[in-house]
Every structure is written in structure tokens, then in C-alpha cells.
Amino acid sequence: MNAPSVRALGLISGWGDGVEAIPADATSAAAGRPLLSLGRPPVEGERFRRATRECLWALAVVERMLEDGRAEREAIAGEGTALLFVTAAAYAASNRAFIEGSGGGTHFAYTAPAVVPAEVAIEFGVRGPSAIFIGGPPATLRAIWHAATLLDRRVCDRAIVLAVETFEECADLYARGPRWTVRPLVETAAALWLERGHGTLALDGGRVARGRGTAGRASRLRERLGDTFACEPLAAVGLWRREAAADTLVLDGAWQGETAHLMWQKGAG
């Protein structure tokens, strides 16, 4: 598979704005805090009055992506842009609010994961292919692979892989099952803008493998980031771009006993 090229990346996390805010060690930087929240972004407009935090942070991080790429909104508008959304937890808060009766019928639409990419598509005029992936880092690796496939087959001119993870509204639920997560939990939003490239990309021979082979590298990355669920691989791409350590990026994702392995080789062109 031809590897895509990275045009731009937006990243906002509980650590701060951008890859530069990521600490060397999440546990030390958290100083005992179990969760680092993003809060609520200051977005104005009647259309966003009822929007959930995950929707608002999705919009904010796409804006950051455009800033990183020095591009205007028109650059991603239209049918030539594919939008692939990944999350493991971002719709949990709206579902909890609805189930517990505080959301009301007005908020029912926000219980679906599709509302996040829908808000992005409406706001930025994205009308190309779309897909939703539910899960942790392995799901994000599949989303990157799918984006590369769409680009390679010229189904689209560019693809945005968007991931948003929020935890604050369900913090007590995560506290009841600490063995399923790593502390600290770090709310994160990331948007990766991909275009056609000249390298090579391989995802476990095009499938997801189960086992222990890649869990080690994924765990080491998590020690630096904290637990960001589906945003982890996109943060890793950001670190790769910033540190320019090698021409090959090895992305490993581990989630609930599932592992996936993506090898991304830069091209010469």
C-alpha cells in the first residue's frame, strides 16, 4: 500500500495545546491527578449552545489542524475530503446524561457517535466519504489504513482522521475499573490531514492481529502520554513529525487484549 503524506496535524490535550505540551513522563507530570480534563472550549453561536464537549473539541482541533497546515477552511471543503472518526469513549457522557434523565429529548441525537463527525462536516463543508471506527488505538490504525486506501484508489484527494476522547463526565465509572485504563486519563482531540504520498504502509498484512507482540511499545508510549484511548496513534504521529527521528514510523496499538501494528515508511518523493 502506498503510504499517505502528512499535510497537517492538530492536537489538543489535557496537557496543553500541541505536541510540545506532551511531557516526558505522564505519571510524574500528572502529580497524582487521575484525570486531566480539557474543560469546555469557548465557542460562540446559537448552533453550538446544546453541543456536547466532544463536538466542540472536534471543531476546535480541526481548526488547529488548518492552522498547522497554513490552510483556509476552503481547502478541506467539498467532496474531495474524506472524514474518518475514531473514538472509544467520547459519546459516553451524552449517553449517560440521556439515560439518567438530565439530557432530555432535545439531546437524544448527541447519544450517537456519528454526531461528532456530522458537526465537523456541517461546520467545514466536508462532503466526501466518511466512516466511524469505535475502539482504542487499533481502531485508529485501521482508520489510517482506510484513509490510505481511499487515497490510493483516488476516491478522495485528502483524508482527515479525527479522534476525540473525553472522560470527565464519567470519571466515577472509570475509577471503578482501574485495571482497564492507565492513569492518568488525558482528554484529547486530534485531527490528522493526509494526502497521497510516495512511501509504503503495512498493517499486519492488512488485518488486525490479536496477541501480545506489540503491547510493549504501546505501553511505553502510554507512559509518556497517559491514557488517551483512540488519540494515542495520532499523538505518536505528531511526535514523529516533531522529533524527525527516523524515516520509518512503527505504530502499535493495544486495547482490551487486541493489538495492531502499522509500519509507515516515508517516500523519497
Q: Check residue 134 and give its pLDDT.
A: 95
CA–CA dist 236, 146 (Å, integer)? 18
Total count of domains within the chain: 1
Report yes or no on whether pTM surpasses 0.85: yes
Q: Each residue of 144-163: b (16+ CB within 10 Å) or e? A: bbbbbbbbeeeebbbbbbbb
In Å, how far are 14, 36, 52, 209, 228 from 116, measured between CA atoms?
19, 21, 9, 28, 17
Specify the residue for cell string 476516491: 155
Q: Is 164 exposed, middle or buried (0-12, 13-18, 19+ CB in 10 A)?
A: buried
Q: Check residue 216 and give its pLDDT.
A: 53
Cβ neighbours for 159, distance < 8 A, ≥ 6 positions apart: 4, 81, 82, 83, 84, 147, 148, 150, 151, 193, 194, 195
Sign of the dihedral defined by the CA atoms of residues 54, 58, 64, 65, in that order: positive
Q: Check residue 245 and give its pLDDT.
A: 64
What are the pLDDT digits (tens) for 121-168? 999 999 999 999 999 999 999 999 999 999 999 999 999 999 999 999
CA–CA dist 233, 250 (Å, integer)? 10
- Return the amino acid letter for 228: T
Length of the chain as a residue count: 269
Residue 246 φ/ψ, nearest 5 degrees: -160, 165
Q: Check residue 125 and give its pLDDT.
A: 98
- Return the amino acid letter for 258: E
Range of the domain at 196: 2-265
The alpha carbon torsion through 86, 182, 179, 233 (nearest 10 deg) reads 30
Q: Check residue 147 and give its pLDDT.
A: 98
Q: Are 6 and 193 in contact (CB under 8 A)?
A: yes
CATH of the domain at 155: 3.40.47.10
Q: Check residue 208 and give its pLDDT.
A: 45
- Ranges in the chain, pLDDT < 50: 205-215, 269
What are the pLDDT digits (tens) for 97-117? 777 875 556 666 677 888 999
